[in-house]
Chains A and B, each alone.
Chain A
Amino acid sequence: MKHSSVDLLLLLLTIAVLTSPVYSDLVLSKVERRIDVTSQIARVTKTLKVVNSGSESVSEFILTFPKFLGNNLAYLSVSHSEGKGKSKRSLVKLSVKAANLKGVPDSISVYSVALPKALTKGDTLTLEVVAAFTNVLQPFPEKISQRDIHLVMLQESAQYLSPYAVESQSLSIKLPNARIESYTNLDGTKLQGTELKYGPYKNLPQYSYSPIVVHFESKAAFAVAEKLVREIEVSHWGNVQVTEHYNIVHRGAQLKGEFSRLDFQGRPPSGVSAFRHLLARLPPRAHSIYYRDDIGNISTSQMQSDSKKTELLIEPRFPLFGGWRTFFTIGYGLPLRDFLFASEGKRFLNISFGSPMIDLVTEKLIVQVVLPEGSKDISVTTPFAVKQSQEIKYSHLDIAGRPVVVLEKNNVVPDHNQYIQVYYKFSNINLLSEPLMLISGFFVLFITCIIYTRADFSISKSSAIYLAKLHWDEVLATVQEVQNIIHKCLATHDKLESSLRDLSRTGDIQTCKAARKSTDSLLKDLSKELKPLLTFLQSSSSASQISPKVEELITKEKELQEKLMAKHTTVVEGYEKKSSGRDIENRIASQQQKIIALRQEIEDLLEFIDEI
């Protein structure tokens, strides 16, 4: 088996290194180790009291891990506490880098810590080491059925592996509140509640190692994002849009056999190894939150928010058993003023690096910070090493594209959720470029429309069709004029008629005659106006369809005029002769009928012409 071979290797190693030369004169007077395995991440906290017992001053401190742990090391931070006594709260982070030491076998990973100041003889220093390991909780058995509980195994050493001699060492392992299957029982092993204690061991030589194995039930969600892409898009209109694409897999013991919904929903529920929820702790004032995947919105999510934080409880489409995968996207907007600041003529975005999900391990994290179009002098500061590159993204109406800072990091744990800063220069005028572009775009559109409707785009100004069209327009205008004149004539006729009615009421012949005279002259003027129009119509070839109708209209109008005049004379004469009203009516009855018929015809003609 894998584990036993590792153990064997380590055992050999221990013997091997025992013979290796003493590295330095540092001595660890007291080592306290606490391992927290309540989640899927093994979080190791160590307090090391370092004493320089040699004569030379030392400015470097070596941390070692067995390789199988070192390979899974996701996060390592070493800090040393300044000040004395109870108030030593100000922790100073020290720089750590992977190192390669001569004489140390390959099965040990080595990290060197630069001490804040060289330790001279007799000096002591307290170091706080925090390390987070992923994948060190091995599911065992590796395949379980839906009914089984999820058992995992932790391998560690009861004694602290160090190139330095250790005077006193103790280890406590914090286990989840559940069943403990077995653990390696050494001298002084105590199980208190959920805490398993080894030690204290006194006066350990260098590179001492005694393997222990703890086998226990884990109820934690072994949610691992195989790939997480976070896109952070800065808009100077007041929003930072974050979009996160998750590829989640359950890295616990694999499910074997059937998945039965009945048992899963039954009482007592089986399938405790599966997880249904993930909790994301978003920044306060996060808004427009969505949760979806390739095929649409996922409706199972809850949100709680207060002034300190926004909590989003999301439930994947299906419960995730060991080995099952899913994919989803969450997105949210953040107010710009909470994250964007200005300093020394530059702006900088101050935003957290990792995923907001609680206890999520990310195997490959890609953070893309999309800056507004026209940003310059971009630089990034991160609290830990990441791979950086730059891209261009084209989004809403971009021309030059937006600069994108791409940060990549493997094996990310929640401890990496620290703030990163992206510095850039951006002038506010660029902000207006896109609205101005839209405005000018529409402006040009309308201008072209106006020009198109107003201007004459015919290719040949002398072509027959073009001339015909011009001519036709002229004809139409003339016809319109004719119509207007006819309408005026008709109105005059009406006046004449009304004068007749006045006559019948008042019997004032003189005014009636005057009216007659005025209308006469008016009508004559109108017919004079009509003449050139008519000749124009008759002469033009394209009006051949209309001109007969217009002619007919004019003659009809003339006729009507005459009839009306005749009627008028008859009536006036009748009044002059003092004939009775009835007599006059009888006399003009036939005329009246003709007038009505004519008028009707004229109106029909007018309408006909109208339609042309």
Chain B
Amino acid sequence: MAALESPPPGTPSAMRHAFGNVLSVLILVLIGVLAFSIRLFSVIKYESVIHEFDPYFNYRVTQFLSKNGIYEFWNWFDDRTWYPLGRVIGGTVYPGLTLTAGTIWWVVNSLNIPLSVETVCVFTAPVFSAFASWATYFLTKEVKGSGAGLAAAALLAMVPSYISRSVAGSYDNEAVAIFALIFTFYLYIKTLNTGSLFYATLNAIAYFYMVCSWGGYTFIINLIPMHVLLCIVTGRYSPRLYIAYAPLVVLGTLLAALVPVVGFNAVLTSEHFASFLVFIIIHVVALVYYIKGLLSPKMFKVAVTLVVSVGLVVCVIAVGILVALVASSPTGGWSGRSLSLLDPTYASKYIPIIASVSEHQPPTWPSYFMDINVLAFLVPAGIIACFSPLSDASSFVVLYIVMSVYFSGVMVRLMLVLAPAACIMSGIALSQAFDVFTASIKYHLSGSSNSTNDAEDNNSTNNAPKDDASASKADKSEETAKERPSKKGKKKEREHVVDKPSVKSKTVKKALVLPLEASIVALLLLIMLGAFYVIHCVWAAAEAYSAPSIVLTSQSRDGLHVFDDFRESYAWLSHNTDVDDKVASWWDYGYQTTAMANRTVIVDNNTWNNTHIATVGTAMSSPEKAAWEIFNSLDVKYVLVVFGGLIGYPSDDINKFLWMVRIGGGVFPHIKEADYLRDGQYRIDSEATPTMLNSLMYKLSYYRFVETDGKGFDRVRRTEIGKKHFKLTHFEEVFTSHHWMVRLYKLKPQKNRIRGKAKKLKSKTSSGSSSKSAKKNPWI
């Protein structure tokens, strides 16, 4: 720190600097502790357990990594999922999170601290959110000084949107990716501000880590080029910009191509083209600036006309080739998720599987308030603060917030990308507002008495130089008002003749001065706003986002009631079935089944093969016999369905059933959505269609359900079921969990053929059914 070295030690200013530094380090440490501990609600209220669906997969991969080592991991072909296809895990997974947790585990264990892989996985997300808030501090500090940095870091430490993805146990890619995202942006801004090649290299490495961690890296590789383009267009080109961008593209792309899941996509898909285009542009611009320096203005004009005319022709040809190349691929080189970002209606039109995931839906307005709370109001103020004055760094932050607001509007999941931007903006807004208010209060107070408030000074002295420009505009109008206080200021100076206070009083003099009462009231309101934010965040962390979703609890009169049905059934599967049995369920439960029950599944949450999922969807929507044939051809031994009708658990398979029909129907046209709807309405009561009532999903869900209360009242759909008494002919119930949430059925073995009967029916059945099943079932 240059600031630390420059003043001779012992002077008050050096002491103040040192004190400020120690204070901000202390605050940063506390922010880290806050970020970590606010995410422990899930462990305290529930238990130290992996949450939800995807984290179970990551956990399983980490287990594999820690057991078999890195080389085995890269070559891992997983035969316990997507039966009979299998899945190449090493080549299709973003390894950042797994490698991070694996490394932590390895380091900790080589120090002989016996932490289990599960513990490491559970606490990776909280640890990285502390890192993320520190990265936010550094990023915001580069933009608007350390006061804003501290505010932004504190806000990010507890922003609900980020908490929702990083509570202890939420072991998902986003947990480390948000840190990587912010840190990459920080290094980019740092390079932009310093022009140091060292930071540029670090930036490329941080980008590599981001590519390892999350598919969202395309956000970075599009946002940074956009910013570079913005700088060039607004005439802010500088060598620093070149250093910040060119090494990132070259090194970053090379490194990104090293990640197996990205590979040549780093140069082949449309998501990355923007960066290459801007790479070309920045070189052209750099060349132009260079030539401009060499030539006289007249010569330069001649050269420009020459180059432009030749260059245009070349460009047109190049762009033409590029467009032709891209257009030759079916999706235009864009992946489905990216396309649905650009065209929000794309997914629901073409890829029901993407649309069926709730986190890919557009968010509602309340979810903004829920996820970023008061930040939504502070962001505009932050944007205004970024414009006075507009620097390279602040323009980047503005661009970041604008883009992320758009993306979060398309997909609720990308609210996560918005959260850091909103925190940075709000941090800037808060810190600037505090600056102005405290400065004016201090100004008034120093006018009336000589007591100065040192604690508040720290903030303002750090930032004071930067908001001068804005303040100086207001100066002229304040001229008259300044006369009187300046005299009083002098009185004060007479007492502290030394040096520093005079500087300070000068900055105070120049700042925008508000009336004392107004600024005190505004300060109180701001503090209240902050307090409200904190209360909301703690509530969100404690109540809304800490449930692990595999354990449900309900508060009743007799106390807490725990619904642990999922683990009950997974435990049953893992201990009481053969290790090579195949379990069919809807893809939501695939990851959990492989991780918790260690059984082979047909489809899982990595929805890479639409046809396979459609096959399971078709089986679930078919009548019993046809379903049995499909499952039998897939070697399935057990079928798992999730049923919430008894206790009122709404996200069960019956409520997801229409998606199964849609996805199944998308590949096998004999499944028609209309057959399952009565007058366009989805219902399971007596008005339901026969196709619906005969479907496997209906039967497996409601088998013997009527005997529980005599009527068969479904508490989720709030209706009595349509078909109450029926028997299963091809399936038998083998396990149902305590609250009936998970029901497991076994495929009955094929009946022995009775000789005489077989002969009699031979002509009929063999010709009829086999041809039919061959048509329906792709696996025979």
Which residue of the partner chain A has the closest CB to B2? A476
A542 to chain B, nearest CB (A): 14
Q: Mark A282-298, 1 if CB is under 8 A from B, else 0.
A: 00000000000111111
Contacting residues, chain A, for B49 (C-beta < 8 A): 295-297
A458 to chain B, nearest CB (A): 15
Q: Report the interface size class on chain B.
A: 35 or more
Which residue of the partner chain B has the closest CB to A264? B736
Give Cα A482–Cα B502 distance, bound, in whole angstroms: 16
Which residue of the partner chain B has the closest CB to A599? B506
Give Cα A326–Cα B571 distance, bound, in whole angstroms: 7
Q: Given A395-B114, A397-B111 in contact, is the A317-B493 Cβ separation under 8 Å?
A: no
Contacting residues, chain B, for A395 (C-beta < 8 A): 112, 114
Q: Mark B172-197, 1 if CB is under 8 A from A, else 0.
A: 00000000000000000000000000
Give Cα A258–Cα B734 distance, bound, in whole angstroms: 5
Contacting residues, chain B, for A484 (C-beta < 8 A): 499
Q: Is the CB of B734 within 8 A of A259?
A: yes
Q: Mark A598-612, 1 if CB is under 8 A from B, else 0.
A: 000001001100110
Q: Is the CB of A607 within 8 A of B490?
A: no
Residues of A within 8 Å of B, CB-based: how many? 46
| Most chain B CB neighbours (cut-off 10 Å) among A295, A397, A607 | A295
Q: Is the CB of B8 within 8 A of A603?
A: no
Q: Is the CB of B6 within 8 A of A262?
A: no
Give Cα A298–Cα B2 distance, bound, in whole angstroms: 56
Which residue of the partner chain B has the closest CB to A607? B465
Kindly identify which residue among B7, B111, B506, B738 contacts A603, using a CB–CB cutoff of 8 Å.
B506
Kindly identify which residue among B111, B502, B575, B708 contacts A327, using a CB–CB cutoff of 8 Å.
B575
Q: Is the CB of A494 within 8 A of B111?
A: no
Q: Mark B490-530, 1 if CB is under 8 A from A, else 0.
A: 10011001010011001000000000000000000000000
Q: Is the CB of B564 within 8 A of A396?
A: no
Kindly identify which residue among A261, A266, A394, A399 contacts B738, using a CB–CB cutoff of 8 Å.
A261
Give Cα A325–Cα B2 distance, bound, in whole angstroms: 67
Which residue of the partner chain A has the closest CB to B490? A494
Contacting residues, chain B, for A324 (C-beta < 8 A): 572, 575-576
Q: Is the CB of B708 within 8 A of A262?
A: yes
Give Cα A317–Cα B564 distance, bound, in whole angstroms: 8
Contacting residues, chain A, for B465 (C-beta < 8 A): 607, 610-611
Which residue of the partner chain A has the closest CB to B502? A487
Q: Given A324-B576, A491-B497 in contact, is the A293-B571 Cβ separation under 8 Å?
A: yes
Which residue of the partner chain B has the closest CB to A266? B707
Which residue of the partner chain B has the closest CB to A491? B497
Contacting residues, chain B, for A266 (C-beta < 8 A): 707
Q: Is the CB of B493 within 8 A of A476?
A: no
B29 to chain A, nearest CB (A): 15
Contacting residues, chain B, for A494 (C-beta < 8 A): 490, 493-494
B737 at the interface (CB under 8 A from A): yes
Q: Is the CB of B490 within 8 A of A498?
A: yes
B226 at the interface (CB under 8 A from A): no
A573 at the interface (CB under 8 A from B): no
Give Cα A442–Cα B252 distance, bound, in whole angstroms: 37
Kindly identify which residue among B564, B576, B704 contacts A262, using a CB–CB cutoff of 8 Å.
B704
Give Cα A394–Cα B108 distance, bound, in whole angstroms: 12
B201 to chain A, nearest CB (A): 18
A95 at the interface (CB under 8 A from B): no
Kindly identify which residue among A297, A476, A607 contacts B6, using a CB–CB cutoff of 8 Å.
A476
Q: Is the CB of A398 within 8 A of B112?
A: yes
A241 to chain B, nearest CB (A): 12
Q: Is the CB of B704 within 8 A of A260?
A: yes
Q: Given A258-B734, A295-B571, A296-B47 in contact, is the A325-B506 Cβ separation under 8 Å?
A: no
Q: Is the CB of A480 within 8 A of B8?
A: yes
Kindly identify which residue among A259, A298, A473, A603 contacts B564, using a CB–CB cutoff of 8 Å.
A298
A299 at the interface (CB under 8 A from B): yes
Which residue of the partner chain A has the closest CB to B7? A480
Give A288-326 interface residues, CB cut-off 8 Å to B: 293-300, 317-318, 323-326
| Most chain B CB neighbours (cut-off 10 Å) among A317, A323, A495 | A317
Q: Is the CB of B732 within 8 A of A295?
A: no
A549 at the interface (CB under 8 A from B): no
Give Cα A326–Cα B735 distance, bound, in whole angstroms: 14
A484 to chain B, nearest CB (A): 6
Give Cα A394–Cα B109 distance, bound, in whole angstroms: 9
Kindly identify which residue among A261, A294, A394 contacts B737, using a CB–CB cutoff of 8 Å.
A261
Contacting residues, chain A, for B7 (C-beta < 8 A): 480
| Most chain B CB neighbours (cut-off 10 Å) among A299, A473, A495 | A299
Which residue of the partner chain B has the closest CB to A472? B2
Contacting residues, chain A, for B658 (C-beta < 8 A): none
Give Cα A210–Cα B732 distance, bound, in whole angstroms: 46
Q: Is the CB of B6 within 8 A of A477?
A: yes
Give B536-588 interface residues, CB cut-off 8 Å to A: 550-551, 562, 564, 567-572, 574-576
Q: Given A259-B736, A318-B568, A480-B7 in contact, is the A487-B503 Cβ separation under 8 Å?
A: yes
| Most chain B CB neighbours (cut-off 10 Å) among A266, A296, A327, A395 | A296
Contacting residues, chain A, for B738 (C-beta < 8 A): 261, 318
Q: Is the CB of A318 within 8 A of B468?
A: no
Which residue of the partner chain A has the closest CB to B548? A296
Which residue of the partner chain A has the closest CB to B732? A258
Q: Is the CB of A318 within 8 A of B572?
A: yes
Give Cα A477–Cα B111 distance, bound, in whole angstroms: 46
A92 to chain B, nearest CB (A): 45
A257 at the interface (CB under 8 A from B): yes
Q: Given A259-B735, A296-B49, A607-B468 in contact, is the A396-B506 Cβ separation under 8 Å?
A: no
Q: Mark A488-523, 1 if CB is under 8 A from B, else 0.
A: 101100110110000000000000000000000000
Give Cα A112–Cα B502 distance, bound, in whole angstroms: 104
B740 at the interface (CB under 8 A from A): yes
B113 at the interface (CB under 8 A from A): yes
Which residue of the partner chain A has the closest CB to B743? A261
Contacting residues, chain A, for B704 (C-beta < 8 A): 260, 262
Q: Is the CB of A491 within 8 A of B562?
A: no
Q: Is the CB of A396 within 8 A of B740?
A: no
Which residue of the partner chain B has the closest CB to A298? B564
Contacting residues, chain A, for B47 (C-beta < 8 A): 296-297
Contacting residues, chain A, for B734 (C-beta < 8 A): 258-259
Which residue of the partner chain A has the closest CB to B706? A262
Known: A262-B704, A295-B49, A297-B49. 9 other contacts (CB 8 A): A261-B738, A296-B48, A299-B551, A324-B572, A324-B575, A326-B571, A395-B114, A495-B494, A498-B494
Q: Closest 8 CB pairs between A and B?
A: A261-B736, A296-B49, A297-B47, A487-B499, A325-B575, A317-B571, A317-B568, A299-B562
A-binding residues in B (CB < 8 A)? 2, 5-8, 47-49, 111-114, 465, 468, 490, 493-494, 497, 499, 502-503, 506, 550-551, 562, 564, 567-572, 574-576, 596, 704, 707-708, 732-738, 740
A-B contact pairs, 16 of them (CB 8 A): A259-B733, A261-B737, A295-B567, A296-B47, A296-B550, A297-B49, A299-B551, A317-B567, A317-B568, A317-B572, A394-B114, A395-B114, A396-B112, A473-B5, A498-B494, A607-B465
